[in-house]
Chain A
């Protein structure tokens, strides 16, 4: 069975602080994909990143960066110099390639509050 754990339920930081959101996953698939989504207060889920299990290179996009480590089954997300607009619930998700289904299995989410 596939499982995603986001141990941090809520995080509160002050603007300009760096913050890391943790994500640990479990899967028996040898090929799988990991995702991060952002859900701002408006409610609509916004796609941030997709990585496959064969690509462990870290990725940076502006103030966002992702650290994928297969050895620890983790796919952590760091926001550098956080801003108030980063306040949202962030979801980590996993999708396998076995069984013909491409459903996303989501973690419970981490609510990030960035205070001015």
Chain B
């Protein structure tokens, strides 16, 4: 079946602009995660959704970052007033259900470049 998909695959934006990153999890997966991968910081957790609620937002680096999930499926990560330090690959993952943890399946990522 289809894996996790993310769009866009690449995004170049000017400092100060807002961006939206989209994640389509594997159908039927109730848990969804956002991570960020950068050279300096490695792979960092951002936020975890169980259904449409986010019991763990502890990894969001500032209040410029927000995320939502609707219909227990698609999720959007929004970064407002982007800064150069936001440049990274943003990865989305999903797992079959909460209460595990179960293996997480990752999407190809969105490479964000803030100029």
Interface residues of chain A, those whose CB is within 8 Å of chain B, are 33, 35, 37, 43-47, 50, 91, 93, 95, 97, 99-109
Contacts and interface: CB of A to CB of B under 8 A. Distances in A.
A104 B93 CA distance: 11
A43 B10 CA distance: 13
Interface in B34-69: 35, 42-43, 45, 48, 55-56, 58-59
B88 interface: no
Nearest to A109: B42
Given A97-B101, A101-B56, A91 B43 contact: yes
A46 to B, nearest CB: 8
Contact of B43 (A47, A100, A106): A106
B108 A101 contact: no
Contact of A50 (B42, B102, B109): B102
Nearest to B100: A102
B98 interface: yes
Contacts of B108: 43-44
6 contacts: A44-B107, A50-B103, A97-B101, A101-B48, A101-B56, A104-B101
